Amino acid sequence: MDAQPGGKSVSRIPLVLITGFLGAGKTTFLRALMTALQARKTGFSVVVNDFENAEVDATRLRSSDATVTAINGSCVCCSSLHEFMAVLGDIEVPRGGVLLVEVNGASDVMSLIAAITARHECRRFTSPLQVTVADAQRWQKRSPQDELEREQVQTATHSVITHVEEVNEERLAQVRAAVKELSPRAVECSAESLADYLRLVAATTRLGRQDVPKKAALLQPAMHRHHHEGERAFTSMRVDLPFVVRRADLEQTLRELPEEVVRVKGLCRLAEIPTVPLSFQHVRPQAETWFLPLLGTQGIVPTGVIIGVGLPAGEISAQFQRLPAADLLPDYQP
């Protein structure tokens, strides 16, 4: 629940992204999750984006009572982003319910999370929870797309391993260990345990409570630093930046962010070249920051979108509040 100007407050709708490589078992898991939520009387709506198959998937899923919306365009992280945002802006979700989104298996999940976190249309949702579905048999045998498959796991709050009956115990242990290494805070879950967690998150969000209750903590990603206990599992947060900053100050703030941060994307103006708005990306573990000029763009709102799991939101906000604003050159007119 967030305070609004004038003292009003709004509750946010939990948003779940179901991700994983092509054919990993996302739709199968989504169907099991829908059944498990129905059994718990937790309402939901569904969005599917699966190349040309979206309508096929949607038709299969519509046998339930839920609203199922198909996005047919190629990919919600790029060419269909606009349509996806419009759907997120309009879709009706039952009161006290959740929104489930099956993301196309070729998506750049981090870009999608960054877009959801930054966009106005998504303010009525929580920062996403991300379930990653990994096929134990085919995991990392997808060259040249192994890197994309690994990246889809990095920001996961929950993981599901499929096709377990097709592999031996040694292979299964290897895949589990690889997923854990890429996303140490993700909790391996079943449709049933995730539905239990979502029911609690939806209930607390509806009641406007800030913290997930103790029972849900058992299903939360493990937080290995004491003061992070109780931080939610969500994958991202947004911060405002000063209108102009010095490059060295911004880079230092980014480097000093906590280890839960996987990537930061944003828009800024640097004191060194204040006339050219820039987009920036900070990538871990290299801790490198790249800046790209946004030519032909003037009116940016300097913002950072922080991506990671179990982000200590208070600590991160405080770090950005300490980032000094730089003076504009006296003759500069924004």
Q: Are 223 and 185 in contact (CB under 8 A)?
A: yes
Q: Is 302 in the site for ligand GTP (CB under 6 A)?
A: no
Two tokens at 281?
């990306």
Kindly state the smallest distance separating residue 157's Cβ from ligand GTP, in Å: 18
Applying CB under 6 A, which of residues 1, 12, 22, 193 lies at the interface with ligand GTP? 22
What is the maximum span of the chain, computed from C-alpha positions, in angstroms?
A: 69
Applying CB under 6 A, which of residues 11, 14, 16, 27 lies at the interface with ligand GTP? 27
Name the closest residue to ligand GTP (Cβ).
Answer: 25
Touching ligand GTP, residues 118-177 (CB under 6 A)? 162-163, 166
Q: Is 28 in the site for ligand GTP (CB under 6 A)?
A: yes
Q: Are 33 and 100 in contact (CB under 8 A)?
A: yes
Touching ligand GTP, residues 85-114 (CB under 6 A)? 105
Kindly state the smallest distance separating residue 37's Cβ from ligand GTP, in Å: 17
Kindly state the smallest distance separating residue 137's Cβ from ligand GTP, in Å: 8
- DSSP per-residue letters across 112-167: HHHHHHH-GGGTTBPSPEEEEEEETTTTT--TTSHHHHHHHHHT-SEEEEE-GGGS
Q: Is 26 in the site for ligand GTP (CB under 6 A)?
A: yes
Touching ligand GTP, residues 241-300 (CB under 6 A)? none
**Which helix (H) or strand (E) covers residue 70, if one does?**
strand 67-71
Kindly state the smallest distance separating residue 152's Cβ from ligand GTP, in Å: 11
Kindly state the smallest distance separating residue 188's Cβ from ligand GTP, in Å: 14
Kindly state the smallest distance separating residue 75's Cβ from ligand GTP, in Å: 12
- DSSP per-residue letters across 7-43: S-EE--B-EEEEEESTTSSHHHHHHHHHHHHHHTT--
Dihedral sign for Cα atoms in the order 177, 178, 179, 181: positive
Kindly state the smallest distance separating residue 292's Cβ from ligand GTP, in Å: 31
> Tokens 């103790």 sit at which residue?
214
Q: Is 70 in the site for ligand GTP (CB under 6 A)?
A: no
Residue 72 is given by DSSP the state -
Applying CB under 6 A, which of residues 2, 9, 23, 63 lies at the interface with ligand GTP? 23
Nearest residue to 269 via CA among 284, 280, 259? 280
Dihedral sign for Cα atoms in the order 261, 262, 265, 271: positive
Residues in the chain: 334
Applying CB under 6 A, which of residues 14, 20, 97, 304 lies at the interface with ligand GTP? 20
Applying CB under 6 A, which of residues 14, 17, 50, 312 lies at the interface with ligand GTP? 50
Nearer to ligand GTP, 60 or 246 (CB): 60
Q: From CA 58, how far away is CA 49, in angstroms rounded?
A: 9
Q: Are 27 and 135 in contact (CB under 8 A)?
A: no
Nearer to ligand GTP, 166 or 240 (CB): 166
Stretch that binds ligand GTP, among 22-30, 142-150, 182-190, 220-228 (CB under 6 A): 22-30
Q: Is 54 in the site for ligand GTP (CB under 6 A)?
A: no
Kindly state the smallest distance separating residue 76's Cβ from ligand GTP, in Å: 13
Q: Which residues bind ligand GTP (CB under 6 A)?
A: 20, 22-28, 50, 105, 162-163, 166
